[in-house]
Amino acid sequence: MTIEPFDVVDLIRTKRDKGALTTEQIGWMVDAYTRGYVADEQMSAMTMAIFLNGMTREEVRDMTLAMVATGTRLDFSGLSKKTTDKHSTGGVGDKITLPLAPLVASFGVAVPQLSGRGLGHTGGTLDKLESIPGWRANVSVDEMMAQLESAGAVVCAAGSGLAPADGKLYALRDITGTVECIPLIASSIMSKKIAEGTAALVLDVKFGSGAFLKDTEQSRELAKVMVRLGEDAGVATRAVLTNMNVPLGLAIGNANEVRESVEVLAGGGPADVVELTVTLARHMLELAGITDADVEGALTNGQAMDTWRAMITAQGGDPDAALPVASEHHVVTAERDGVLVEQHALPFGIAAWRLGAGRARKEDPVDHAAGIDLHVKPGDAVTAGQPLFTMHTNEPARFERALEALQGGYRIGDAGEAVQTGGPLVAGVVEA
């Protein structure tokens, strides 16, 4: 019989009483929970103690590295290219990974993007890409390495071997009211990103109505903690604070977000999507040592599009195939002349989810054709009867609940009235 070095009840008492745990105690606790020795009830008590009393910088670092140690860590040192990655904390209409990964890779940098699926009102990158006929999310490590050498970018599902403690701990936090805790959010995100093994990482940390954290200063604090974690683990890390009070772009869903991403790669697309894509690309390239890249030019001259086509084809997708289109559509029009002064991200995210574009449980399927296309953005003048947005679904019974979610989600005001956007798209950069 193995004699365990610590008593988890003693560790719970320490955090309950606002004490700090040692590196050895945290390492043991995470490992013991992963192998089932520490019970869910005990870890629930620990996460609540952390939620209420916080963690020191050293504790957050130790928690993160302990979760990394429960699984494998990818090694890209054998590649002929430098590696750089990006992570977004999630939002409404946030399809930035799709144009960003091939754009950065088109400059000779490898972009291994391990992504997830959507849950609730925030969409998942894999769900969007699975709108493309034939495209597959699951690739082996050998396939990933080969694709990074050839196409330069890969967007795929993270294997279960990367920081398995995080998956178990997140599921527990989700049902115990301890999700919204900066030390636990930071260690969750960064354990997977550190295990992913890239040399550089840019974090897109969102704030606002459609973001995980609504408050700008909370998002800034999360960004600071994650940047420190990355640097402590030897990963060059930078965070960009971005506004998620208004939906990003004009498409909210899956297939329609792919269409919009392709427009950006073709040199067009909504101005806010282009702005954020270009901003994040510059930061990713700078961390990889490239400071003179003509990022905008790569979107207009076909360079990024070529990489997109190679990336999609390498994973079995047909970049020329028609994307799914819903059978049912409902257009919402302006009731009066004026200016669109409010368009809140969260109600539109929930409405798209209710149309079938998202899932309530991780086992649920998504309708790739479902979603919302916006026809106007805050600040645009509108006339009575003009289309404001179109909802798409294959199940018309879903329209009623989607419309309920949008009550109060947008407002037309008079010319000259202040437009509510929550400020500029990019609110700041956090560096080590």
State yes or no: is 192 an active-site residue: yes
pTM: predicted TM-score of the whole model, two decimal places: 0.93
Phi-psi region of 137 (alpha: psi -120 to 50; beta: other; left: phi over 0): alpha
Domains, the chain, ordered by start: 8-54 (1.20.970.10), 84-321 (3.40.1030.10), 328-413 (3.90.1170.30)
Active-site annotation holder among 62, 85, 127, 166: 166
Does the pLDDT of residue 388 top 70, yes or no?
A: yes
C-alpha span between 99 and 221 (Å, rounded): 28
What value does the CA radius of gyration of the chain take, rounded to a whole number of Å?
22
- 217-242 as b/e: b if 16+ CB within 10 A: ebbbbbbbbbbbbbebbebbbbbbbb
Is-contact 178 188, C-beta < 8 A? no
C-alpha span between 138 and 134 (Å, rounded): 12
State yes or no: is 330 an active-site residue: no
Q: Which among 283, 249, 264, 429 has a CA at the least distance from the CA of 352?
A: 249
DSSP letter string, 174-219: HTTT--S-HHHHHHHHHHHHHHHT-SEEEEEEEESTTSSB--HHHH
Length of the chain: 432
Whole-number average pLDDT of the chain: 94
Active-site annotation holder among 106, 188, 219, 261: 188
Summarize pLDDT for 121-172 with one digit per residue, the tens. 677 899 999 999 999 999 999 999 999 999 999 999 887 788 999 989 988 9
DSSP-derived secondary structure letter, 249: S
State yes or no: is 173 an active-site residue: yes
Summarize pLDDT for 25-60 with one digit per residue, the tens. 999 999 999 999 999 999 999 999 999 999 999 999
C-alpha span between 328 and 394 (Å, rounded): 6
C-alpha span between 257 and 296 (Å, rounded): 20
C-alpha span between 110 and 152 (Å, rounded): 5
pLDDT at site 119? 62
Active-site annotation holder among 15, 61, 86, 87: 87
State yes or no: is 174 an active-site residue: no
Summarize pLDDT for 272-287 with one digit per residue, the tens. 999 999 999 999 999 9
Active-site annotation holder among 15, 121, 168, 192: 192
C-alpha span between 284 and 282 (Å, rounded): 6
